[in-house]
Amino acid sequence: MNRDLALKNRGIAQRFKTKLEKSRESKSDTPIEKKEAETVTNDLGEKAFLAVNGIKGADEVEFFKKIQKETGKTADVLLESTYFQTEFRDFKEKKATREATPNGSKRSTPLSSDSVDYWLAKDELPPSSQVELRRQVVNAKSKKDSSGGVFYNS
């Protein structure tokens, strides 16, 4: 009888041990999920805070986070610092300059040989195989000649 009672208690103890381990595993999983949810809301709140303070766009936010990581300051303290304000102003000026300069070479792109402007500039007619283009060139040339003035520079 003692042996049966011992086996019974051993089984009960094993079940409680298993339940305890499972509850510990589930508790350790939930904080991670909560932490991820908190970071998403913190990110949205931080983005809204930055947008209100004039930091908009992915590159500006990335610049802010880089400076924040370097200095280790919080967002509100960093935004008030003169160091960040001067660095951010320089960053925006460089960005504006980059966006204002044209890409590519300084030469103009050549006109394609199937455009009317190309043949008007060349002052020739396209090959006889391109009948429709020839008509368009002749019509454009006659329109240009009829709209021209009497004087040489008009």
Global pTM value:
0.43
The mean pLDDT of 33-47, rounded to a whole number, is 64
**Of the listed ranges 35-49, 95-109, 123-137, the one predicted with least confidence:** 35-49
Split at pLDDT 50, 70, 90, the class of 19 is confident
Residue 152 backbone phi and psi in degrees, to 5:
-70, -30
The mean pLDDT of 122-139, rounded to a whole number, is 87
Each residue's pLDDT tens digit, 71-105: 988 888 888 999 999 999 999 998 888 888 777 65
Split at pLDDT 50, 70, 90, the class of 151 is low
What count of other Cβ atoms lies within 10 Å of the Cβ of residue 88?
Answer: 19
Domain ranges of the chain: 8-52, 54-99, 116-146
**Of the listed ranges 37-41, 68-72, 150-154, the one predicted with least confidence:** 37-41
**Are 42 and 35 a contacting pair, CB within 8 Å?**
no
For residues 9-25, one letter each, b for 16 or more C-beta atoms within 10 angstroms of the residue's C-beta and e for the rest, the string is eeeeeeeeeeeeeeeee
Query: What pLDDT score does 125 carry?
Result: 85
The mean pLDDT of 136-153, rounded to a whole number, is 77
Closest listed residue to residue 92, CA positions, set 121, 69, 63? 63
